[in-house]
Amino acid sequence: GNSVTQMEGPVTLSEEAFLTINCTYTATGYPSLFWYVQYPGEGLQLLLKATKADDKGSNKGFEATYRKETTSFHLEKGSVQVSDSAVYFCALSDPRGSTLGRLYFGRGTQLTVWP
């Protein structure tokens, strides 16, 4: 079946530090991969996505590369800011499977960035 495993938090970093949040997946088909972000008091927002192997999604300085050989989609940012403090969710959908685009989520990783 489909599932997502992501690094447990919380992650605490100083401003300008390098960020990696690991995400690996199991899928029966050819999934699309996503990172969603939930800022304090706000709803989930799509941060970035990749729809096929070797694609790199990027947004707001964050990047993630779809690695089929390692079934991974790790989130990285070279220099975090206080405003990046949020919960990050890795997710997959299998658009050609029977699950009709539903998302499978990891448990979320809380990131706190200190000035």
Partner 1 sequence: GAGVSQSPSNKVTEKGKDVELRCDPISGHTALYWYRQRLGQGLEFLIYFQGNSAPDKSGLPSDRFSAERTGESVSTLTIQRTQQEDSAVYLCASSSRTGKRHEQYFGPGTRLTVT
Positions in the binding site for partner 1 (CB under 8 A):
4, 32, 36, 42-46, 49, 51, 89, 91, 93, 95, 99-108
Q: Using the minimum distance from each CB to partner 1, give the nearer residue, 37 or 113.
A: 37
Residue ranges of alpha helices (H) inside the chain are none
CB of 84 to partner 1, least distance (A): 19
Residues 6+ apart with CB under 8 A from 34: 46, 47, 48, 49, 90, 91, 92, 93, 103
CB of 43 to partner 1, least distance (A): 4
CB of 77 to partner 1, least distance (A): 21
Q: Using alpha carbons, list the distances in angstroms from residue 70 to 44, 67, 75, 77, 93.
A: 27, 6, 14, 20, 18
CB of 15 to partner 1, least distance (A): 27
Q: Using the minimum distance from each CB to partner 1, give the nearer residue, 70 or 98.
A: 98
Q: Using the minimum distance from each CB to partner 1, give the nearer residue, 49 or 74.
A: 49
Q: Using the minimum distance from each CB to partner 1, give the nearer residue, 27 or 91.
A: 91
Q: Using alpha carbons, list the distances in angstroms from residue 74 to 62, 82, 97.
A: 10, 21, 23
Q: Which residues pair with 75 in a beta bridge?
A: 21, 64
